Amino acid sequence: MSEPFGARLAAAVAGRGPLCVGIDPHRELLAAWGLTDDVDGLRRFTDAVVGALAGTVAVLKPQSAFYERHGSRGLLVLEDAVATARDAGALVLLDAKRGDIGSTMAGYADVLAPGHPMQVDALTVSPYLGAGSLEPAVRTARAHGGGLFVLARTSNPDAATFQHARLDDGRTVAQAVVDQVGAWNAPDWLVGDPAPDPAAFADLQGRWGPHTGSVGVVVGATLTELDVDLAGLRGPVLAPGLGAQGGTPAELRRLFGAGRAVVPTVSRDVLAAGPDPAGLRAAAQRWAAELGG
C-alpha cells in the first residue's frame, strides 16, 4: 500500500461517502436469508454482500468471529472476500478487536502486512491491557500503511464500568485512550518518549491540516452525550450503532458535529435487505444519502 490508511480513507470517503457496512453473518441472519448455517451458507451470504456493495461503499467491516466459528473453511471464505472487496475498491476493516502483548499482538497485526493471505486495510484493537500492549500493532500499521481503530468509548451498557474509571491525573480511562491515539497520530517530529502533552496537540490543531491520522478510535453512535474530548485525536472516529441499535444521522451530527472524520457503521439495516443484490445496494444508498455521502 503506497499511502497511509488515513489518506486512503479520506480519499474513499470523498469518492464514495462515509458509510461503513458491517458484514455480520450470524446464524439468525443466515436463516433470514434462507441459507444454511454452514460454510456453504456463509459463502453465499458473504459473496452476495461483497458483490453488491464493494464497488460503491467506502468501507466494509467483516466481523471475524462469524467466520472463525466455522473453522479453517470459514476463514478461507473471509480471506477470499477480503481480496475481492479490496479489488473492487472498498477498504476492508477487520473487526476482530484484538488485544494482547508482545509477539502475540504482533502476530495479530500481521494482517496489515503485505504478503499476508488476508491482508486488510485496518484492524480493530482493544487497549485494555495497557497502551503499551498495542505498540506492536502501531509499528506494523506505520510500516505498511495500515490503520487501527482502538476501542475508546463504546456504547454497550456495561462499558462505563471501566471506561469512566478515573486515573490518578483525573482523566477517565476512555479519555486516556483517546489521548494516546492522538500521540500516535502526531507528526514524527512531535513523537517522543514520553509522549507529548495532549494539550499540545489541541494548540497545534490549526497547523496540522486535514484529518489524515491512520489510528482512529471507536466511539458509539448511541451515546447520550460525547463524554470524551476528541480535539487532539487527529484521526478518524468509527461510530457503530446506526439503525437497528438506535443511532440516527441526526444523533451522529449532534454527538460529533461537523469537520470531524467520522465513519458511521450500519450492519443490520443494510443486511436485512438481502439476499437480493439490488435491495442491498438500495439500502446502502439510502443510508449514504441520509449521511450526506
Q: What is the DSSP track for 227-243?
A: -S--TT--S-EEEEEES
pLDDT for the residue numbered 207: 33
pLDDT for the residue numbered 206: 38
pLDDT for the residue numbered 196: 44
pLDDT for the residue numbered 1: 55
57 within 8 A of 71, measured Cβ to Cβ? no
pLDDT for the residue numbered 293: 55
Mean pLDDT of 200-204: 41
pLDDT at 76 over 50: yes
Beta pairing partners, 91: 59
Ranges of beta strands (E only) in 126-213 are 147-153
- Range 5-290 classified under CATH 3.40.50.1000: no
CA dihedral over 183, 92, 77, 117, signed as positive or negative: negative
The pLDDT tens digits for 18-35 are 999 999 999 999 999 999
The pLDDT tens digits for 105-130 are 999 999 999 999 999 999 999 999 99
For cell 451470504, name the residue: 45
pLDDT for the residue numbered 205: 40
Question: Which burial class, exposed, middle or buried, applies to 83 when counting CB atoms under 10 A from its CB (0-12, 13-18, 19+)?
Answer: middle
pLDDT at 195 over 80: no
pLDDT for the residue numbered 110: 97
pLDDT for the residue numbered 259: 67
pLDDT at 198 over 60: no
The pLDDT tens digits for 234-288 are 899 999 988 878 888 988 999 998 767 899 999 999 999 999 999 999 999 999 9
164 within 8 A of 174, measured Cβ to Cβ? yes
φ, ψ of residue 61 in degrees (nearest 5): -125, 85
**By percentage, how much of the chain surpasses pLDDT 90?**
75
Q: Which uninterrupted H or E stretch holds 59?
A: strand 59-62
Q: Is position 97 annotated as part of the catalytic site?
A: yes
pLDDT for the residue numbered 225: 93
Q: Which of 27, 86, 97, 268 is catalytic?
A: 97
pLDDT for the residue numbered 2: 65
For the chain, what is the mean pLDDT? 89
